[in-house]
Amino acid sequence: MQIPYTVEQRPDTGLYNAKLGVWLFLASEVMLFGALFSALILLRTGATTWPHGYEVLNVPLATMNTMVLITSSVSMVMSWAALRLGDFGRYRKWMGLTFVLGLVFMVIKSIEYAAKFEHHLYPSHDNFMATYFTLTGLHGLHVLGGMIVIGYLLGPGSKMWKSEPERFTNRVEVVGLYWHFVDLVWIFLFPTLYLL
Amino acid sequence: MSGHSVEEIRKETRVYVLVFVALAVLTLVTVGVSYLHLSFGAAVALALFIASIKGTLVAAFFMHLISERKLVVAVLVLTAIFFVALMLLPLGGYVDRLR
C-alpha cells in the first residue's frame, strides 16, 4: 500500500505528513530537554555552592564545537537548497560536509570527556558534573542519531533521488529540521553549562 | 520542485549565509561577555538573551518558521506554554524554601 501524503500536502493540515510528524516529535524533544533544564535550575538554585562552568569545563573547545555545529546547520540547509535546485552533486557535497562536521563535533566532545575522566571527574563527582554529563551526553546521542540518518541519506537512501526526487527532497528537509533543533539545543546548553 | 523559482531559492541561500555570519558573531559575543565577570543575574540574563536571538535566527530561517503553516506555529505555541510551565516548576521549590 502506498504511504499517503509523502509529497503532496494533506488538505486538512496543509503539510505533507512527515513534516507535521517531525514537528510533533520536536515538540516532545523540547519537553525532554526542558525537563533537564528545569532540573538544572532546581539543583543550581538549591545548592549552597555551585562551580562556574568556565572554571571546570573547557570553554575554547566548547566554543569551537559551537562553531562546528552552526556551520553544520548551514551546510544542511544548503544541501536541501541544492536538491530544490535539482543539483544532486552539490547536495552530496553539502550533506557530506554536514556529516563530517557532526563527526568533528563528536571527536571534540570525546576529547573533552576524556580530559574529565583523566581528572577523575565522573557524573558521580557532584551535581554539576552529573548535570553536565546528562545534558551533553543526551545531546551527543542526538548528534549521533542525526549522523546515522545523514549517512543513510548520503548512501543507500540516496537512490530515491532517481525514482522519487520530491519525496527525497522532503526527507532531507525533515532531517534538516531535526538537525537544526539539535543545533538550537546546543545554543542554549553552551552558555548555561560553560559560561555561567 | 518546491514551488519556488530558482532565483527565490538562490536568494534564500544568500540569507542562510548571512544568518550563519550572525550566529558566528553572536557566539563570539557570548564568549566575550563571559569575560566581563558581570553579576550572576546580569550574566544569566545577557547569556540567555543572546542565546534567544541565536535560537530565533535558527528557527526562523534554517527551520523556515518565518514562512511555515499556521498549524506548525500552533503546535509550537502550545509547546512553548508547557515549556514555560516546566521552567517555572523549580520556582515552587524556591518559594517553599523561603517559608
For the segment A128-156, the average pLDDT, to the nearest whole number, is: 98
For A91-119, what is each residue's pLDDT tens digit? 999 999 999 999 999 999 999 999 999 99
CATH number of A17-195: 1.20.120.80
B56 and B90 part of one domain: no
Which member of B30, B55, B86 has the closest CB to residue A195?
A: B30
Q: Which three cell numbers stand for residue A73?
A: 546547520
B12 and B39 part of one domain: yes
B50 and B4 part of one domain: yes
Residue B7's domain spans which residues? 1-68
Cα-only R_g, chain A: 19
B61 and B75 part of one domain: no
Measured CA to CA, the distance from residue A40 to residue A100 in angstroms comes to 31
For A14-67, what is each residue's pLDDT tens digit? 999 999 999 999 999 999 999 999 999 999 988 999 999 999 999 999 999 999
Q: Do B62 and A54 touch (CB under 8 A)?
A: no
B61 and B83 part of one domain: no
Helix (H, G, I), strand (E, B) or coil at A14: coil
For B5-61, what is each residue's pLDDT tens digit? 999 999 999 999 999 999 999 999 999 998 988 998 999 999 999 999 999 999 999
B39 and B79 part of one domain: no
Q: Where are the domains of chain A?
A: 17-195
pTM for the model: 0.95
B60 and B94 part of one domain: no
B12 and B53 part of one domain: yes
Residue B1 has a pLDDT of 44
B4 Cβ contact partners less than 8 Å away, ≥ 6 residues apart? A84, B12
How many domains does chain B divide into? 2
Enumerate residues 81 to 120 of chain A having a beta carbon within 8 A of any beta carbon in chain B. 81, 83-86
B27 and B44 part of one domain: yes
